[in-house]
Amino acid sequence: MKFELEATAPGTQARAGMITTDHGLIPTPIFMPVGTVGSVKGVHARELRDDIKAKIILGNTYHLYLRPGCEVLRQAGGLHKFNGWDGPILTDSGGFQVFSLSANRKLNEEGAVFRSHIDGSKHLFTPENVVDIERVIGADIMMALDECPPGDSDYAYARKSLSLTQRWLTRGWKRYKETEGLYGYSQAYFPIVQGCTYPDLRRESAKFVADLGADGNAIGGLAVGEPTEKMYEMIEVVNEVLPTDRPRYLMGVGTPANILEAIDRGVDMMDCVMPTRNGRNGMLFTSEGIMNMRNRKWADDFTELDPAGTAFVDHVYSRAYVRHLFIAQELLAMQIASIHNLAFYLWLVGEARKHIIAGDFATWKPQMIERVTRRL
């Protein structure tokens, strides 16, 4: 994997760059649709390519390990061939499930013992076997196994958690360096910065991560309950330490405003389930604000979903029609909303990239944030 920095925006830390992988180019800043179990919910690979203009999607090691399992993925030739997506893929390591499925796991020095959310069976994830699983999945970018502690963790727990994550990282990095991909193309390995909301722990973690010299680095453990301003502060702290010649991936963030603020602070890559999850529940993000498609006000509004922006889906669906589909509980409503929202997110980071290159990102961003946070 290769990263080339193309431009920086005056008065900010915002950057435009290009990541080169064996499955294609990724212009940054970029938003990555989440495909947890090998699919972006309700969206075909063709729609990801042609309508949404996605450049990279995510898969999740925990979920893919449980279903369909490593043997099926190995026989298929990896996730790319299994799901029909021929662009770059990034896989999370399962570390976030250590946090979100805390009732079903136990941590020890060896790794994380999970109880499957499917059938209750017991499994052990170690830094080493997670690398092995991600080799089988075949993602272009693999994430290190870490613990993602709650945002309100006290300092003692955050210190203990970070130390465990660093020991796991040392072992995972060793396994990565002594193994190779299974399908004839290269795989990068990103370590993850942790440390909760404590600046000294974040700096320590960022230095530990940076010293490895990995192809890229991730910022984890944010947007997990801490105040938004604290999240922004931690991004600034971390990016003061992480190298500028490697891409920086902010994990699991967030709203359109969060994304623009993260880009302002030097983040290159982001992902979040919000576009699809909120879309399935009737929330549409547009270039002029946020719409609840179940509201009565859209019942006889025959304008496009986003007339001030661009047509984010194949057909020009009216607000009235999409509201009707939601009220009728028609599955097409969720599909249209998911495609629209993902296409909007990709459009938004594309616009940010244009303004970074043009040099006026600092004046464009606050105007765009005011627009995308309105409730229509």
Q: Is 298 left (phi over 0), alpha (psi -120 to 50) or beta?
A: alpha
Following CA atoms 25, 28, 34, 36 in sequence, which dihedral angle do they give, to the nearest 10 degrees? 60
Measured CA to CA, the distance from residue 191 to residue 210 in angstroms comes to 9
Q: Are strands 112-115 and 105-107 parallel, antiparallel or unpaired?
A: antiparallel
Measured CA to CA, the distance from residue 305 to residue 286 in angstroms comes to 8
Can you tell me which residue has the tokens 């760059």? 17
Measured CA to CA, the distance from residue 115 to residue 318 in angstroms comes to 45
* Burial (Cβ within 10 Å: 0-12, 13-18, ≥19) of residue 199: middle
Count of beta carbons in the 10 Å neighbourhood of residue 315: 7
200 is catalytic: no
Count of beta carbons in the 10 Å neighbourhood of residue 243: 17
Using CA atoms, how far residue 369 sits from 15, 89, 260, in Å, is 18, 29, 7
**Contact yes or no for 191/211 (Cβ under 8 A):** no
Residue 124 bridge partners (DSSP): 113
Q: Which two tokens stand for residue 330?
A: 């028609």
Helix, coil or strand: residue 21: strand
Half-sphere exposure of 97 (CA within 13 A, CB side): 25
271 is catalytic: yes
**Which residue of the set 140, 264, 271, 306 is catalytic?**
271
Measured CA to CA, the distance from residue 45 to residue 83 in angstroms comes to 8
**Contact yes or no for 185/160 (Cβ under 8 A):** no
Q: Which two tokens stand for residue 108?
A: 């020890």
**Which residue of the set 92, 146, 268, 306 is catalytic?**
92
Please enumerate in sequence order all residues whose Cβ is within 8 A of that of 78, keeping only pairs 6 or more positions apart, or say none: 136, 137, 138, 182, 183
Q: What are the catalytic residues?
A: 92, 271
